């Protein structure tokens, strides 16, 4: 009897944690998304599905912008993270742990503080632009803040480790003798990378894309600090509707809409690139 109950008892703490802090709030938010009312008179369950349609029709452009920023931020993370992970995996030697620690060290600082620091770095008369303007390399009217570039740069920076670490783990697992065998078969460096290293590292890229695209698309801090009114993301709208307008049903409906779009996107991504196809490519 004890042996049968042991597996269930072992997962009981984690199960209770998920139920209390994930399932219950999710159900409450789903119920709230279909309610009507206000903070003074209270909210009542009326199964008002128009909260979804009205929210999407009103803020559809913000949803599209969030997904677009999420895509560009994820691509930027791949472009930056892959060479870094490759160098650490194959050329860092015994100092791999040191370089990984240095890579993660800035992220021990608060997410907000790191984003605000970007605001000082990218300021019109900051350490970078101010210096370049002083040297005459940039015109005085040039600015980066309150642009899409500033928001995407902040997003890519803040979520970069979520891309580096999965790719590094995938590259670290590659047996270097396989690469040497490819070179023995007269494959050049580029061909060995394309035919051997890249396919074997695809599981890491696959995991990294999921781990970065979802939080980037739902982020609101970078758009609020580094962007302007024209860079508002759906996360900023949800925050405003919930905390400023106390419009809980609309905020909940928008949250579920974003979650549904991201889940569909992840499912299509998995179907098109496929975890099965990725693992098969890695196994060749």
User: Can you give the CATH number for the domain in which 248 is found?
Assistant: 1.10.3720.10
Task: Note whether residue 10 is domain-resident.
Answer: no
Does pLDDT of 158 surpass 90?
A: yes
Q: 110 or 272, which is more confident?
A: 110
* Residue 200 clears pLDDT 50, i.e. is over it: yes
- Mean confidence (pLDDT) of the chain: 89
User: Residue 263 falls within a domain, yes or no?
Assistant: yes
C-alpha dihedral (201, 204, 205, 211), degrees to nearest 10 = 180
* Residue 20 domain flag: no
**Total of domains in the chain:** 1
* Residue 106 clears pLDDT 90, i.e. is over it: no
Q: Can you give the pTM of this predicted structure?
A: 0.88
**What average pLDDT does range 10-24 have in this prediction?**
92
Confidence of residue 282 (pLDDT cuts 50, 70, 90): very low
CA distance readout (Å), 222 to 131, 213, 214, 255, 261: 24, 14, 15, 18, 21
Between residues 7 and 171, the one the model is more confident about: 171
The pLDDT assigned to 274 comes to 59
Diameter of the chain by CA atoms? 79
User: What domain range is 187 assigned to?
Assistant: 33-283
Position 272 pLDDT exceeds 90: no
Judged against a pLDDT cut of 70, whether residue 275 lies above it is answered with: no
Q: Region 100-111: what's the mean pLDDT?
A: 90
Please tell me the number of Cα atoms within 13 Å of 30 on its side-chain side.
Answer: 8
Which is higher by pLDDT, 284 or 9? 9
Q: What is the DSSP string of 100-161?
A: HHHHHGGGGS-HHHHHHHHHHHTSTTSTTHHHHHHTTSS-TT---TTSHHHHHHHHHHHTTH
Please report whether residue 24 resides in a domain.
no
pLDDT band at 249 (very low <50, low <70, confident <90, very high): very high
User: How far is Cα 178 from Cα 197, in angstroms, rounded to an integer?
Assistant: 9
Mean pLDDT comparison of 105-114, 129-138, 249-258, highest-scoring range: 249-258
- Residue 61 belongs to some domain of the structure: yes
User: Rounded CA gap, 269 and 263, in Å?
Assistant: 10
Residues pairing with 44 in the sheet: 36
Q: In which band, very low, low, confident or very high, does the pLDDT at 127 lie, cut at 50, 70 and 90?
A: confident
The whole-number average pLDDT for the span 232-242 is 94
Per the domain annotation, does 22 fall within a domain?
A: no
Asked if pLDDT for residue 239 goes beyond 90, the answer is: yes
């Amino acid at each position: 009897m004890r042996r049968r109950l042991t597996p269930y008892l072992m997962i009981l703490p984690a199960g209770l944690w998920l139920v209390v802090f994930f399932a219950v709030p999710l159900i409450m938010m789903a119920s709230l998304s279909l309610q009507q009312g206000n903070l003074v008179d209270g909210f009542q369950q009326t199964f008002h599905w128009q909260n979804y349609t009205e929210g999407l029709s009103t803020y559809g452009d913000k949803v599209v912008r969030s997904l677009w920023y999420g895509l560009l931020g994820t691509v930027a993370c791949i472009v930056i993270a892959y060479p870094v992970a490759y160098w650490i995996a194959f050329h860092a030697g015994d100092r791999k742990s040191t370089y990984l620690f240095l890579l993660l060290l800035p992220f021990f600082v608060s997410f907000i503080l790191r984003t605000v620091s970007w605001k000082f770095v990218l300021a019109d008369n900051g350490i970078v632009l101010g210096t370049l303007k002083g040297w005459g390399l940039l015109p005085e009217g040039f600015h980066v803040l309150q642009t899409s570039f500033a928001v995407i740069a902040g997003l890519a920076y803040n979520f970069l480790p979520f891309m580096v670490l999965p790719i590094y783990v995938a590259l670290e697992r590659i047996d270097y003798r396989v690469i040497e065998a490819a070179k023995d078969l007269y494959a050049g460096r580029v061909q060995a990378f394309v035919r051997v290293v890249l396919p074997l590292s695809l599981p890491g890229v696959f995991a990294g894309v999921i781990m970065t695209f979802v939080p980037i698309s739902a982020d609101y801090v970078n758009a609020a600090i580094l962007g302007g009114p024209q860079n508002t993301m759906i996360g900023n709208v949800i925050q405003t509707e919930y905390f400023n307008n106390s419009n809980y049903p609309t905020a909940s409906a928008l949250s579920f809409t974003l979650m549904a779009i991201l889940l569909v996107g992840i499912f299509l991504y998995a179907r098109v690139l496929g975890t099965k196809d990725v693992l098969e490519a890695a196994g060749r």
